[in-house]
Amino acid sequence: MARVVVDPIPRIEGHLRIEVEIADGKVKDAWSSGTLFRGLEIILQGRDPRDAHLLTQRSCGVCTLVHSLASVRAVEDALKIQIPTNARIVRNLTHAAQNGHDHPVHFYQLCALDWVDVVSALKADPKKAAELSDKVSGRPQSKKYYEGLKGKLKAFVDSGQLGPFANAYWGHPAYKLPPEANLMAVGHYLDNLRQQVYAAQMTAIWGAKNPHLQGHLPGGVTVIEQLDADRISHYLFMLREQIKFVEEVYVPDVLAVASFYKDWFKIGGNKNFLCYGDFPEGDKEPDTFYFPRGALVDGKLALVPVDPAKITEDVKCSWYEGDKPLNPAVGETKPLGGDQLKGAVPNTKDKDGKYTWLKAPRYDGKAMEVGPLAQCLVSYVGGNKEIKETVDGVLKALDAKPDALFSTLGRIGARAIKCLVNLKRAEKWTMDLIENIKKGDTKTFTDYKLDESVNGQGFGLNDVARGSLGHWINIEKGKIKNYQQVVPSTWNLGPRDNAGQKGPVENALIGTPVADPKKPLEILRTVHSFDPCIACAVHVIDPQTNEVYKFRVS
């Protein structure tokens, strides 16, 4: 049995180590370890609750907006603030814009290189690539275009400076796309680098800037001066351009890739899914959420209501003090220190030991996968018409059954589906905003009192590009007494709990085929499908020879 360590995982945001045991060519056991402690929850203690949304955005350099949204919702819940209609719609539009940015970037820039052999594209016949593009893509390109693209790629490779394409596992036997499909994918990789500018600008229209927006605050939004025809028209134009790209390029590319890798519809799945729901279309939450709240348990397509009181975090295998699972409302973030952390590195030889800075969130005692797959499944079962129609259309195009969604490829496909449906619904919300303004309603903020006399507890839940995100706040004498964040990557990448249950990524890796332990491309496929995101070195250790193999992957 070989033990393989991938540390850190490339093309993710943050620092992640994955360790697996391989026997008979498949993963038999796995451990997920977050190796960086930041302590934002500790930093927030004693601060003004109105500042929390600005600080929590720094949790991430990618999904900044959604931490702001969860934070202001938590404060509003604690202070019992009802925001105006315009504020609700503007938040939906801003959030949709970020999803429209994150999902295509995840596919093209973060996980596509697990499926697309860039170097193989140099063998492509430009004429055949053009024919494939005409058949597959909504934006077909000519033979001349692919001749030029191939020439640029060759010059890039010949220079010896491959940038984001350097030191990957090109030529790995797990790559299956023909050279022409690889060349088309490289073109679309570059197209999305240009296209994502629209989504970033859409966020900035309502958020004042991007990525760390200033458009949210407890009580509403700050954009009353932006509620004019020019701003709304600008947003709507870019929204429609983004929808066209997703329809004509992103979704067809996902379908094209999936058609060559259908065996991955049976690899990398989980059975428990949690979705907080989001995008309120009325004042009553969560009843008016466009994407509904709910859970699916034990692989059954039956919706289970979600009670936030059943959420806990376990630190049995985490580098924190504590001996029992706690609800985040009374949660603790007390990192081990001093002698307790001497030599603290991920060490999974003692499987009952502590090996990560990530906690182990559980819902009703169960490890739950969160993210676009959970969102699509819950919306599908929960009666979202647009999700159901889109999912059924994708399954029909791939000649696949619904259980194919419980997989690595199902996870990637769900992102494209969620992205398309979300952006299309944003067209309706834009029209709702216009109609509300026409009625003479320009209110964007609800005033409230916050001073030393104010106490309160609350939480803010939303479902974001990477999954279910929650912030819990305890306000005492007008200041933050306690603050807890339970983020999507904690749900997905967390460790074993006190009962020995693996986290979702650990569980999903079991059974993954690995053709070459020195080139663990297949491990990256499943881990990247959950959308953790940063290019770094990978170290693979063969314990049978004690030889250390070092690779840089893109």
Q: Which residues are catalytic?
A: 13, 60, 63, 67, 466, 489, 533, 536
DSSP state of 130: H
Give strand pairing partners of 59: none
What tokens does 300 get? Answer: 């059954």
d(CA 321, CA 337): 9
Residue 221 to residues 90, 140, 291, 348, 412, Cα–Cα distance (Å): 8, 41, 22, 46, 33
Cβ burial of 545 (10 Å; 0-12, 13-18, 19+) is: exposed
d(CA 156, CA 469): 40
CB 360 within 8 A of CB 497: yes
What tokens does 108 get? Answer: 């093209």
DSSP state of 541: E
Give the number of other CB atoms < 10 A from CB of residue 54.
17
CA atoms within a 13 Å half-sphere pointing along the CA-CB vector of 211: 16
CB 520 within 8 A of CB 17: no
- Whether the link from the prior residue into 504 is cis, omega within 30° of 0, is no
What tokens does 93 get? Answer: 């539009």
d(CA 342, CA 372): 38
Cβ burial of 324 (10 Å; 0-12, 13-18, 19+) is: exposed
What tokens does 485 get? Answer: 């964040």
CB 64 within 8 A of CB 487: no
CB 480 within 8 A of CB 119: no
CB 256 within 8 A of CB 178: no
Residue 104 to residues 180, 333, 362, 465, Cα–Cα distance (Å): 21, 34, 29, 11
d(CA 487, CA 480): 19
